[in-house]
Amino acid sequence: MNWRTDWAFLVPITIVIIISYNIQIDSEKMKIAILGIVSAVITVTSSVYGIVLSNRLSKYRELNLKQFEMKAKSYAFFFELMTKFIIDIKKPTRKIDQRELDFLKFKSDIIAWGNESVIKEIKKIEDEASIEETNPAQRFNDIILALRKDLGHSDSSGFKPFHLFITDTKKCE
C-alpha cells in the first residue's frame, strides 16, 4: 500500500476546511451550512477509505493464504520425496519396519510444521535411543509437552501426559 495515494484524500478536505474558516462569512447560517458540508465530506471520505482499506487487506490475506497452501503442498511433496530417499538409502543395509517408516513421516511433518523446541526434543530422543540409562517416559513427556506448547497450551511443570498412555509407569523409568 502506498501512503501517498491512501492519504491523498486528506489534502482537499484540509484545504476546504481552511478556506471555509478563513473566508469572512457574515451569516451564521452559512457558516453552519459550510461546516455541515465539510463534516459530511469527511464522513463519506472516511467511510469510503475504510471500505477500500478493508478490501485491500482482505485481498492481501487471501493472497497470503493461497501462497501458503501452494507452499504447503510443495513442501509436503518435498518431505515425502526426502523420506523415500532416506528409505532407499537404508534398505540395502537393513530392513525398515513400519514403526520406523511412521516415525520418518512424523519427522518430515515436524520439520515442516513444528517449532524449534519440538524439533530439538525429537532430535534428543533419537540421540538418546541407544543409551541404556535413558528414561523413555521422560523423553516422551518432553516431546508431548513441546507439542502441546507449540499448539498454545500452557502446562504445569509437574504434568506428565505420557503417563496417560501407560498403566505401569515404573516399567518405563
Whole-model pTM? Answer: 0.50
Give pLDDT, residue 58.
Answer: 94
Q: Identify residue 110 by its one-letter amino acid code.
A: I
Tell me which residue of 123, 113, 121 sits closest to 141, measured CA to CA: 121
> Grid coordinates in use for 86?
532416506
pLDDT digit string (tens) for 13-53?
777 766 666 666 667 777 777 778 878 877 887 888 889 88
Q: What are phi and psi of 26, to 5 degrees?
A: -85, -30
Q: Cell match 507452499: residue?
A: 71
Q: What are phi and psi of 4, to 5 degrees?
A: -65, -45
Query: What are the residues whose beta carbons fall under 8 Å from the beta carbon of 82, sequence distance 6 or more?
Result: 108
Our measurement of the distance from residue 168's CA atom to the centroid of its chain's CA atoms, rounded to an integer in Å, reads: 39
Concatenated DSSP letters for 103-118? HHHHHHHHHHH--HHH
| pLDDT less than 70: residues of the chain | 1-11, 17-26, 130-134, 156, 158, 163-164, 166-173
